[in-house]
Chains A and B, each alone.
Chain A
Amino acid sequence: MNETIHSASMTGAASPVAAAISARALRKTFKKVVAVDSVSFDIALGSTTALLGGNGAGKTTTIGMIMGLILPTSGRVSVLGADMARERHRVLARMNFESPYVDMPHRLTVRQNLKVFAGLYGVADAAKRIAEIAQSLALEDFLDRQAGKLSAGQKTRVALAKALINEPDVLLLDEPTASLDPDTADWVRSRLEDYRRKRGATILLASHNMAEVERLCDRVIMLKAGRIVDDGAPAALIAKYGRDNLEQVFLDIARGRGAS
């Protein structure tokens, strides 16, 4: 099922990896605007990778193509060996995603929402899984409350519960802690770390929170104007740019300053 391929890094070093996500020469144009251009990468199984870049860098478009919700103009993206433009339904049951820009039906209670998604994802024992996930994400107190009546933090936890309902092998997260207070954001990051450790899942996230990326991610892919401009482990990038943290690296790249 999972293809083993060679991943070429920016420096040209090649190493054998089992790729959970593989992008090859991805390009997406919207009329005359080039949103993503010549993007290629392999995301190793069981890793956590961040797509970083400023607004309009191409993060959401890239994630959309990985999900199969946006068709590339050219190039190819595969997840767990399935071409997402043509055979995405082969692997969708093993994937899931969360985005603050996508909601769940407001009039349904949290439990009803989770039941519906458990049905859609073919979860074998939905009641048991909902009980498990409600406990691990501390949803019990509002399981029977309408989703539209929850606070921002509660909604994020419910969205995360939906994203984990099928225990996905590949989890795509678009700004998973956007608009959360520091305490709740930290709590969400801990749950993601737990999930990855227990399940061995592959996580790809887009975030503007550099501390979050440093904490969660093994690897960072930096995008600018639709192209990959750097790629490496957070510590390696910080060292490469001679900076103290990833935020400074981000600013260097965004403002066109090269590595030291």
Chain B
Amino acid sequence: MTSLSLRRIGAMVARYLYVLRSSWPRIAELIYWPAIQMFTWGFLQTYINGQASAAGLAGRFAVAAGTLIGALLLWDSLFRAQLGFSLSFLEEMWSRNMANLLMSPLRPFEFVAALMAMSLIRLAIGILPVTGLAFLFFGFNLWGLGLAVAAFFANLVLTSWAIGLFVSGLVLRNGMGAESIAWSILFFVMPFACVYYPVATLPHWLQWVAWSLPPTYVFEGLRALLVAHAFRADLMFEGLGINAFLLAFGAVAFLALLDSARRAGSLLQMGE
């Protein structure tokens, strides 16, 4: 069995970076949407703070607004990381290059490693400048939350990879008809992941759904940090545990769907 080849992974990462470099609009778009979202929520925060201050409730509502902009930045990180993975994969479908890759010595786990690397690169390009803008314009310093941010990001990125793997497998098996899932799947998760409100807000019977989703642990952890100034390591470890399961499920599903595509003979028609 051939071992993992860093050279092949590097070749794939270079391939995606060539695409990014070839188009300034693509790079700008990575920053554009998170920035627009951040400004919208940032001005909402400013408005709420102003209203709360006038009503003598400044401290209470300022904290609430802080959780909103923090939650927005973390939600966007999850969304961008998943898109970074899935869009890199879809590049191969759009350019009808998949058969070239699958016929080359590139192994599935090397391909996936390159997609993971691109997920991180695209996330960094999109989110780092926006966290700077959030601090400059609205005084919200995500990085000031310290090591907790690393735990939040680790959990969210793992979730994005698990979803990206599953979606990529679906597209491999079912063709471009499944492409829209890459864009929409996280919005299905969003109401149950309790991004902007506590889990307790949900009806009791829906709360178990929320606690089965790793992002829920991150957003509850963020609120605990901002409201109670307590880092909930227990939540982070529980989230990691579920993420480990989801990532294993995503990997198995990806390989099974790839195998199914080979049985169905759909790999030679990819992108057509």
Contact = CB atoms under 8 A, between A and B. Distances in A.
B198 interface: no
Contact of A70 (B5, B18, B19, B265): B265
A121 B265 contact: no
A109 B105 CA distance: 22
A122 B103 contact: no
A162 interface: yes
Nearest to B107: A89
Residue picked from B5, B23, B100, B263, most chain A C-beta under 10 Å: B100
Contacts of B100: 102, 104, 117, 162
B15 A69 contact: no
A103 B265 contact: no
B263 A108 contact: no
B15 A60 contact: no
Contact of A116 (B1, B14, B96, B107): B14
Nearest to A30: B265
Contacts of B11: 115-120
A70 B262 contact: yes
Contact of B105 (A116, A120, A146): A120
Interface string A155-181: 000000010000000000000000000
A64 interface: yes
A108 B268 contact: no
Contact of A93 (B96, B99, B101, B105): B105
Interface in A183-221: none
A72 to B, nearest CB: 9
State the majority secondary structure of interface residues on B.
Answer: helix
Contact of B14 (A68, A92, A115): A115
Given A70-B267, A102-B100, A107 B105 contact: no
Contact of B15 (A35, A71, A108): A108
Nearest to A174: B268
Contacts of A120: 8, 11-12, 101, 104-106
A104 B95 contact: yes
A171 to B, nearest CB: 12
Interface in A40-62: 60-61
A69 B18 contact: no
A67 B19 CA distance: 28
Nearest to B7: A119
Interface residues on A, range: 35 or more
Contacts of A30: 264-265
A59 to B, nearest CB: 12
A19 interface: no
Residue picked from A35, A90, A105, A117, most chain B C-beta under 10 Å: A105
Given A116-B12, A119-B14, A64 B105 contact: no
Interface residues of B, number: 37
A102 B97 contact: yes
A97 interface: yes
Contacts of A245: none
A178 to B, nearest CB: 15
A69 B10 contact: no
Nearest to B110: A120
Contacts of B8: 119-120, 122
A122 B1 CA distance: 16
A22 interface: no
A96 interface: yes
Contacts of B272: 101
Nearest to B260: A71
Nearest to B1: A89
Interface string B88-130: 0001000111011111111100000000000000000000000
B103 A97 contact: yes
Contact of B95 (A89, A90, A103, A162): A103
Nearest to A147: B95
Contact of A107 (B23, B103, B107): B23
14 contacts: A64-B265, A71-B259, A90-B2, A96-B103, A99-B99, A105-B97, A108-B18, A108-B22, A115-B14, A116-B14, A117-B11, A117-B104, A120-B12, A162-B100
Interface of B: 1-2, 5, 7-8, 10-12, 14-15, 18-19, 22-23, 91, 95-97, 99-107, 259, 262-265, 267-269, 271-272
In the A-B complex, the 9 residue pairs with the smallest Cβ-Cβ separation, listed nearest first, are A119-B11, A103-B96, A120-B104, A105-B95, A116-B15, A92-B105, A102-B99, A69-B267, A70-B265
Given A103-B95, A117-B100, A119-B10, 20 more contacts: A28-B265, A64-B267, A67-B103, A70-B262, A70-B268, A71-B259, A95-B103, A104-B95, A104-B97, A105-B15, A105-B19, A108-B22, A109-B18, A115-B11, A115-B14, A116-B11, A116-B18, A120-B8, A120-B105, A122-B5
